[in-house]
Amino acid sequence: MPSSLISPSLLRLWLPVLCAGVLGVYSLPVLGEWLAAWFSYGTYSALFTYGAVGIPALGYLGWSKAARLGNLTVPPVDRLLGIGFLLGSCTLIGWAASKDVRFAGVFLGVIALCTLVWGLGSLRLLWQELGLLLLAIPFPIVFALTHNPFFQQVTAQGAAFMLWYTGIPAVAAPAHASQIGVYVLKLLDDGHWQAWSGVAVAQECSGTAIGFTFTYLSFLIPALLPVALSRRLLLATLAPVLAIFCNTARVAFLVYLQAYSGRDAFLFWHAADGRLIYSFATLLLFGLLALWIVRPAFERPPAGTSAAPLTTAYRPPAEKG
Report the pLDDT averaged over residues 272-301.
Answer: 87
Q: What is the pLDDT of residues 173-205, one digit of tens each?
A: 765 556 788 988 888 877 778 778 888 888 888
Which residues, in sequence order, are bridge partners of residue 182? 172, 199
Q: Name the pTM for this structure.
A: 0.81
Query: How far, in Å, are 111, 130, 138, 221 from residue 61 at the CA level?
Result: 16, 11, 21, 11
Q: What is the pLDDT of residues 206-255, one digit of tens each?
A: 888 889 999 999 999 999 988 899 999 999 999 999 999 999 999 999 99
The pLDDT assigned to 231 comes to 92
- Highest mean predicted confidence (pLDDT) among 6-20, 125-139, 294-308: 125-139
Q: Are 132 and 219 in contact (CB under 8 A)?
A: yes
Q: Dump the DSSP string for 113-162.
A: HHHHHH-THHHHHTHHHHHHHHHHS--HHHHHHHSSHHHHHHHHHHHHHH
Per-domain residue ranges of the chain: 3-144, 147-297
Q: 25-58 as b/e, with b when 16 or more CB fall inside 10 Å?
A: ebbeebeeebeebbeeeeeebbbbbbbeebeebb
Closest by CA to 251, choosing from 130, 157, 316, 123, is 157
